Amino acid sequence: MEVRLYITEGDIEDHHVFREKLSLSGLSWRQTDLEDADAVIILAGLWGTMKERIMDDVKRALKLSKPIITVRPYGLENVPVELEKVSSEIVGWNPHCIGEAIEDAVNPEERNQT
């Protein structure tokens, strides 16, 4: 199954690194717009420069009942409280963990059966 993802974009290295890590996760995925996405990926490293845009994306995702997966800033453990409150999952940069978090968020019924 191919998962459709909306990924916050920005001019930081984290965005490129995340896409590389996602390609190593074993997950079949493609990027799409937020309305068509199965899940929304928020790169918390963009928070400092794109807080308003990220919050707009979060509000749209919540309105559309999309799961939100927040990726911690590279090398840090904490994410902004605003993102922590709305995230279905919060992950670091391990490709396996990223793929698993997306699968769990997209298929919550399978997660509850294990």
H or E element at residue 4: strand 3-7
Query: Residues 5-63: pLDDT tens digits?
Result: 999 887 667 778 888 889 988 899 999 999 999 999 999 988 988 999 999 999 999 99
pLDDT at 76 over 90: no
Token pair, residue 77, equals 């453990």
The stretch 75-98 carries a mean pLDDT of 91
Collect all residues with Cβ–Cβ distance below 8 Å to 75 and sequence separation of at least 6. none
Query: Domain segments of the chain: what residues?
Result: 3-108
Per-residue confidence (pLDDT) for residue 81, from 0 to 100? 94
- Level-2 CATH architecture, domain 3-108: 3-Layer(aba) Sandwich (3.40)
pLDDT at 112 over 60: no
Q: Hey, what amino acid is at 71?
A: V
The pLDDT confidence band at residue 110, using thresholds 50, 70 and 90, is low
- What is the DSSP secondary-structure string of 30-78? EE--GGG-SEEEEEGGGHHHHHHHHHHHHHHHHHTT--EEEEPPTT-S-
The Cα 23–Cα 56 span in angstroms is 27
Q: Distance between CA 29 and CA 56 in Å, rounded? A: 23
Q: Name the pTM for this structure.
A: 0.89
pLDDT above 70 (res 111)? no
